[in-house]
Amino acid sequence: MTGSIPTTADLDRMAAAADWLVRLHDAPGDEALAVAWLQWCEEDPRNLEEFQSAQLVWHAANPAAPEAPLAQRQVGVVGWRMHRPVWLGLAATVLIAVGIGSFALLRNDHDELLQSYATPIAGTGSSVLPDGSRVELGADSRITTRYTASQRFISVDAGEAYFLVAKDPSRPFLVDAGDMRVTAVGTAFNVRRNSERVVISVSEGRVQLNSGSESADGADLIPKSVRTPLLAGQQAIYSSESRSVTIAAINANDVASWRSGVLKYMHEPLGSVAQDLSRYHNKRIIISDAQLSAMPFTGTVFSSRIDDTLKALESIFPLRVRERGDAIELVPRG
């Protein structure tokens, strides 16, 4: 809300926020109520903002009251809109991503809001984060968020995530993916992580990259000598094997093209591409041969036509495709 005269919709939102505050306070262990509250918050980012404003009034009027109407032990559930290929035979249902922690107003660094989001193989999803930022997850991906009063911290644990960051200069938006950290304020960027590489691409604004290792408590990154700015239309690729970072120019419009079912690769090792395609296929795609795995691949793959791509690879690379149970192996020809 702004400082202008509130509209009818604003007044309705204020009344709804106050009602949720009372109901959650009266039933701190009611998980079904928590689910309904989270759905209300997801309908409009302003709903959560109004709820937090109501909490301010709550704490001002009740300084001796418990920390927040939502108990620290409460489990929240966030719904994700799913897009799955028909051939998977899965119903168009809502994916449940469990967030464990407090949804209280964060007043100091001792208060933490901890959530986890995940998607299944061949499924994608999106959600609004507590600060109003938006995240979209690719297939078979997982992130963990930890919010405090001074920091917004996200860990990309596996897969791919596209972030549209709400601007808040006083509270940096920090994203860790293996040995890479991205620091942003208000921007849009994509992070893709597998066992071999981390690929960070910027579509809007700029971010700062740090490479290093995380401290034991996960609080700070031990930086290396170089802190690198990454601008819109640039991509950074970190190799876990060589522990080096390469920066290249890209088309900003191609960042996160996977959201439209288009997977684009530029001089990527075939083994890394195979890992990525496995997230969109009902079978694991494996390359055991080191020489074949290291061969560079540049091209476009449609996530709904991966089998066609695998067949095409037989005419491009010295390999053949072999199906074995729940896996597809790419093996050297002959």
- CB distance 250 to 266 below 8 Å: yes
62-71, 158-167, 222-231: range with highest mean pLDDT: 158-167
Provide mean pLDDT across the span 28-33.
Answer: 71
- CB distance 232 to 249 below 8 Å: no
Domains and CATH numbers, the chain: 1-71 (no CATH), 85-249 (2.60.120.1440), 261-332 (3.55.50.30)
- 221 vs 4, higher pLDDT: 4
pLDDT of residue 2: 39
110: confidence class by pLDDT, cuts 50, 70, 90: low
Residue-wise pLDDT tens digits, 303-312: 999 999 999 9
Provide mean pLDDT across the span 9-31.
Answer: 75
pTM over 0.75: no
Q: Which residue has the tokens 């590489």?
A: 197
Which residue, among 159, 186, 195, has the nearest Cα to 279 in the 3D structure?
A: 159
Q: Distance of CA 280 to CAs 4, 94, 148, 219, 226, Å? A: 47, 18, 34, 33, 35
Tell me: pLDDT of 220 over 50: no
Q: Which two tokens stand for residue 293?
A: 């795995």
24: confidence class by pLDDT, cuts 50, 70, 90: confident
* Dihedral angle of Cα 33, 34, 39, 43, to the nearest 10 degrees: 110
